[in-house]
Amino acid sequence: MAERKKVLLRLDPAVHDAVARWANDELRSTNAQIEFMLRRALAEAGRLPDGAGGLPRRGRPPKDAD
């Protein structure tokens, strides 16, 4: 996976709190929730690039199958 871009994002505190609560309900970090929302909005608008990688997997990495 390509290196992830870092972005400074300024949000209204009420919007941040709402996103953080939603992220908590979905067992995601606030950052992962924002990326999820952006990707969904891009896809719905037909603007998600074909080369966009998938979302990183959540949770622990799988154990090696020995």
Neighbours of 34 (CB within 10 A): 19
Which tokens sit at 33?
């929730």
Instruction: State how far the Cα of 35 lies from the Cα of 43, in Å rounded to an integer.
Output: 12
CA atoms within 13 Å, Cβ hemisphere of 5: 6
* Token output for 58: 């959540």
Q: What is the pLDDT of residues 17-61, one digit of tens each?
A: 999 999 999 999 999 999 999 999 999 999 999 878 777 676 777
- Confirm if 29 and 23 have CB atoms less than 8 A apart: yes
- pTM to 2 decimal places: 0.76
Q: What confidence score (pLDDT) does residue 65 get?
A: 59
